[in-house]
């Protein structure tokens, strides 16, 4: 790992910690040349292709998934920790499936299932994009379905 300050190639690890439930390693490093200390993160990389609805394939992108979920959860009471924990679990599920290709529908349904349990507004926001609602009647149908699914108290 190059030093971000002096570009020296030789750095030493002075501390390592496992974070994000074991999915990431945080390393504190020190440059052997200038003594600058910095932090790096080591994450599991998924070598999985996502098959889109139209048949296109693109590499799995954790940040793209996180961005979509964050947009749905904007100004809702869902913590970043909850979102990241869910994505970690989803990635573990993808690894355990052992498949090189996963449909975008599978990912979308997993996200919608989680959002439905966390926050109905976030769920509707995500569903409107994921299901490509064409007009207000599709929103209303989805809201009616949500209300129908809620237990009566």
In tens, the pLDDT along 117-137 reads: 999 999 989 988 877 777 888
- 2 falls within a domain: no
- 39 falls within a domain: yes
Q: Which domain holds residue 136?
A: 49-149
Same domain, 39 and 62: no
Tell me the pTM. 0.72
Same domain, 60 and 80: yes
Q: Average of pLDDT values for 94-113?
A: 94
Same domain, 91 and 38: no
Structure confidence at residue 43 (pLDDT): 81
Average model confidence (pLDDT) across the chain:
90
Same domain, 24 and 72: no
Q: Average of pLDDT values for 56-81?
A: 95
- Sequence-distant (6+) residues with CB within 8 A of 151 are none
Q: Average of pLDDT values for 71-93?
A: 93
């Amino acid at each position: 790992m190059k030093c971000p300050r002096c570009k020296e190639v030789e750095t030493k690890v002075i501390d390592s910690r496992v974070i994000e439930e074991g999915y990431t390693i945080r390393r504190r490093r020190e440059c052997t040349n200038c003594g600058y200390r910095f932090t790096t993160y080591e994450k599991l990389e998924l070598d999985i292709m996502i098959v889109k609805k139209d048949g296109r394939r693109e590499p799995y992108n954790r940040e793209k998934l996180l961005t979509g979920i964050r947009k749905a959860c904007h100004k809702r009471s869902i913590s970043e920790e909850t979102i990241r924990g869910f994505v970690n679990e989803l990635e573990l599920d993808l690894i355990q499936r052992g498949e090189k290709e996963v449909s975008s529908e599978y990912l979308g349904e997993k996200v919608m299932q989680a959002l439905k349990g966390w926050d109905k507004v976030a769920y509707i926001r995500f569903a409107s994009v994921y299901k490509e609602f064409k007009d207000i009647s599709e929103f209303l149908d989805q809201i009616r379905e949500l209300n129908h699914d809620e237990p009566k108290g």
